[in-house]
Amino acid sequence: MTEFDPGFSLPDLDGLLRQFPSGRPSLVCFVKEDCKTCNLAMPVLEAFHRAFGKRADVLLVGQSATGNATLKERHALTMPVLDDGDCSVSFAWDFEVVPAVFWTDGEGKVGTRFEGFVRSEWQALERQIGDALDLGLSEVNWLDYPEWRPGCGSRHLDPEVNERLRATASNNPMRARRIEIASADDEAEFMFDQGFSDGLPLVPPTPERVLRMLAGTKRGAQDIVAVVPPNMAPASVEKVAINAVMAGCRPDYLPVVIAAVEAVCTDEFNIHGVTATTMGAAPVMVVNGPIRHRIGMNMKLSALGAGSRANATIGRAVRLVIRNIGGARPGGVDRSTLSSPLKFTMCFAEWEEGSPWSPLHVERGFQVEDSVVTVFAMTSGPVLIVDQESRGADQIAGSLGLGLEGAILSKIHRMPMDALLVVCPEHIRTLTSEGQYSKDRLRSRIQQVTSRPLREMVANEISGAGIPRAAADKMSHEQLETLAPKFASERNIHIVVAGSEAGKFSAAFHGWVTGPTGSMSVSRKIETS
């Protein structure tokens, strides 16, 4: 005998609650009105009720309130017909096909169970019940019944019904606090009022949607992904999934969101500082590896803009985690003077197949077959770099460098600051028109064309920014003529390839302060299995 917890309390058609187990042996049969095989079995069950009902309970459990009444009228049933319209009891009893038959003792332990209609099984059950109760057989004429008829799929396995039942089951993996709202309340307005939103409408994170989202990862729902500043709040997989639902993600995006959350919550990335700075920095995410294609990320036309669900919602989910779990909200810890659209979302994939170089994640020590997300702290972008005239490799490289010189302020050089350069395919073709043009050569060219004498960086009547006049007055002529490139190091220039094959327009993201006192870019492998 199989032992499980079958207890239930269901109303019959007269509104009387029937308890199971009742202390008496019971024959429980789950049915639905539109199943032909269930209707075939109705006279048999009614005969069992008449023959055995004085010593055992014969309970018909129907999966539709209106269908139950129809069954009773159609077959003149006298046995109790119980209403499992929400299918919660069907779900708990864990069968697939109706009619589903269970013969139990008075404590609810199952002795015999089967599904569908096989005449020999029903005949054997009749003998078993008669022997157990010391009664004879029923009045069923078995020759009137076919040897076999297939049953129908139970209604509790319908996808929409099953998702609801799984989400509300006591053994479901979700533990987050549930918020009940009145039926007349608008869900979208409620989430705005509660401060969950970044200013755009959210997808309501119903239990069904969250459970579906959790199916996108092998990690346990209560595993801690990261501790999210500034509140230093633990972000479980479940809580990340909730924010992914609100952002509009699909379940197969969740591993990317999890990896990105891990990356931004490292000490190296310093999401607290990134959020709190008045410069308005925000994470920019670049995805590499096979997962780009698997989840349909955009790396070509409009890669940095609208139109891609994966790009937009992955970036937004990470931002919502920072906001809703970490507590980084504008006016609180987020003190951005102007802020930036990057605070909504910025995530895209590198077009590795269109690049002559090793992709970003390989440069950073991963294998080509790895799926990786890299996060950068950027204050602005994408800023367009336009060159439609250059035909030489060094020329186009020079233009890319001049385009980067304006980061923060063209007068500011040697600042410890990262830049993310996104080179478009047409510029790539120009760069490689004379042979291979390595990333290192491009970085060197950028530093070369942006080098300016320190004299040009001294505060003056045009701009008070740069080297203070008092400090410049103490410098020699030779010192003032020293050339300073834009970036403190070539390592501050990060290069990826993306964009449409038509158009000579590259772009750049300008970074925040890098290093131990600011933010350093971080890469995390995306766990997809």
For 497-509, the pLDDT digits (tens) are 999 999 999 999 9
Per-residue pLDDT at 178: 78
3-class SS letters over 387-435: CCCCCCHHHHHHHHHHHHCCCCCCCCCCECEEEEEEECHHHHHHHCCCC
Hey, where are the domains in the chain? 8-168, 187-450+485-525
The kind and range of the H/E element at 125 are helix 119-133
Buried b (16+ CB within 10 A) or exposed e, 105-123: beebebeebbbbbbeebbe
pLDDT at 407 over 50: yes
- The per-residue pLDDT for range 369-399, each reduced to its tens digit, is 999 999 999 999 999 999 999 999 999 999 9
Number of C-beta neighbours around residue 161 at 10 A: 19
Number of C-beta neighbours around residue 98 at 10 A: 26
pLDDT at 223 over 50: yes
Would you state the structure tokens that stand for residue 423, as one six-digit string?
A: 């080179």
pLDDT at 305 over 90: yes
Number of C-beta neighbours around residue 189 at 10 A: 11
pLDDT at 416 over 60: yes
**DSSP state, residue 330:** B
Average pLDDT, the chain: 94
Per-residue pLDDT at 371: 98
What distance in Å separates the CA atoms of residue 110 and residue 343, rounded to the nearest whole number?
Answer: 58
Per-residue pLDDT at 488: 95
- The per-residue pLDDT for range 457-488, each reduced to its tens digit, is 999 999 999 999 999 999 999 999 999 999 99
What distance in Å separates the CA atoms of residue 526 and residue 529, rounded to the nearest whole number?
Answer: 9
Topology at the third CATH level for domain 8-168:
Glutaredoxin (3.40.30)
The kind and range of the H/E element at 370 are none
Number of C-beta neighbours around residue 19 at 10 A: 11
Per-residue pLDDT at 415: 87
pLDDT at 2 over 70: no
Q: Which residue has tokens 């020329």?
A: 395
- The per-residue pLDDT for range 242-296, each reduced to its tens digit, is 999 999 999 999 999 999 999 999 999 999 999 999 999 999 999 999 999 999 9
The kind and range of the H/E element at 373 are strand 372-386
Asked if 32 and 100 touch (Cβ cutoff 8 Å), the reply is: no
**DSSP state, residue 152:** E
* Sheet strands (E) in 16-168: 17-20, 26-31, 57-62, 81-83, 97-98, 100-104, 110-115, 117-118, 148-149, 152-153
What distance in Å separates the CA atoms of residue 505 and residue 499, rounded to the nearest whole number?
Answer: 9
Asked if 451 and 484 touch (Cβ cutoff 8 Å), the reply is: yes
What distance in Å separates the CA atoms of residue 307 and residue 101, rounded to the nearest whole number?
Answer: 52
Number of C-beta neighbours around residue 475 at 10 A: 15
What distance in Å separates the CA atoms of residue 81 and residue 279, rounded to the nearest whole number?
Answer: 68
pLDDT at 1 over 60: no
Type of residue numbered 322: I
What distance in Å separates the CA atoms of residue 10 and residue 18, rounded to the nearest whole number?
Answer: 5
- The per-residue pLDDT for range 81-138, each reduced to its tens digit, is 999 999 999 999 999 999 999 999 999 999 999 999 999 999 999 999 999 999 989 9
Per-residue pLDDT at 3: 46
**DSSP state, residue 197:** -
* Sheet strands (E) in 179-281: 224-228, 233-236
Ramachandran class of 170: left when φ > 0, alpha when ψ lies in -120 to 50, beta otherwise: alpha
Residue 458 pairs with which residues in a beta bridge?
467
Per-residue pLDDT at 273: 96
Which pTM does this prediction carry? 0.80
